[in-house]
Structure 1
């Protein structure tokens, strides 16, 4: 039983929500997002609240019930405030530059790595070692940040690489001998 899925979602004043054929579209001050919800779930819009109910108690329907509610809440949060992830480069000579809307990473390879943002994603640079990925779609922001981190993941011996600002790297000792 999904405890999260049964809770109603409050719609703030600035938000416009439409539901058509299990596609939820949310418009807000920062943009517009739409998400297709499982056809076994019933979405009802009443008096500034969205409720999601499931028609059957099958295992698959129970699995997507809470997920669907979380997706709707994330869409509302995204069109109001947006999401952002911050990354940091650690290493001698590691730096990042912004070229138009793209990022150019110099992280120890023989060539610079160019990252192009997905649609709706904005990449910003603070100094020459911090990257801010921002947008209204939580999934795209997280995926873009993960792709940037995957260019040079942090290694445990020296701590060099690209990491999230709040990420802790467990350090290992080198060989003794």
Structure 2
């Protein structure tokens, strides 16, 4: 059984929280996020701390309890610091560039792949092989990074493709010659 839901969320002084029935809104210097909490969970705030309380003792309530706590904690971190994902492009001739707000990838296809980022997501390209995705919503930042990586995932023989910064690719040995 998860004990994540029992932990209190410490809210920094420059973050403002607003609870309206089952909706919690958190705003900070980076932006504003809101989340609808399930009816089986009650939210209490006490001097810069948020605590979640289960209303009933079912398996579903327990699962939503930990999930809600994690989402609200990620919202607090997002509006204060933000989230960042780094992608690295490896391969001869593989490169990325920005055209306005769109990301253009040349990764071995007959055509360049154009990606339009979602709202509130900022994409930067450094030295044509490093892509940085930054935003306040952890879920959207991760989903955007996964979509970009899915265009050309790293392959195990030569290691070519788009990979996360700290990802290790298990390399395979090619055909053994006689």
CA displacement at 1:159 relative to structure 2: 0.2
Give 3-state SS (helix, strand or coil) of 1:156's partner. Answer: coil
Query: Where does residue 107 of structure 1 map in the other structure?
Result: 107
Does residue 86 (structure 1) correspond to residue 98 (structure 2)? The answer is: no
Does residue 123 (structure 1) correspond to residue 127 (structure 2)? The answer is: no
Q: Mind listing any 5+ residue stretches in structure 1 that lack a counterpart?
A: none
CA-based RMSD of the aligned residues comes to 0.8
What whole-Å deviation, never above 9, does each CA across 1:129-176 have from its counterpart, x for those lacking one? Answer: 110000000000000000000000000000000000110000000011
Aligned positions of 1:147-158 closer than 5 A: 147-158=147-158
CA distance in 2, matches of 1:44, 1:79: 20
What whole-Å deviation, never above 9, does each CA across 1:107-132 have from its counterpart, x for those lacking one? Answer: 00000000110011000001011100
Q: Verify the 8 A CA contact 1:96 1:129 in the aligned structure 2.
A: yes
Give 3-state SS (helix, strand or coil) of 1:158's partner. Answer: coil
Give 3-state SS (helix, strand or coil) of 1:93's partner. Answer: coil
- Structure 1's consecutive aligned runs of 4 or more residues displaced over 4 angstroms after TM superposition are none
CA displacement at 1:2 relative to structure 2: 3.5
* Count of residue pairs the alignment pairs up: 177
Query: Where does residue 42 of structure 2 map in the other structure?
Result: 42
CA distance in 2, matches of 1:86, 1:69: 26
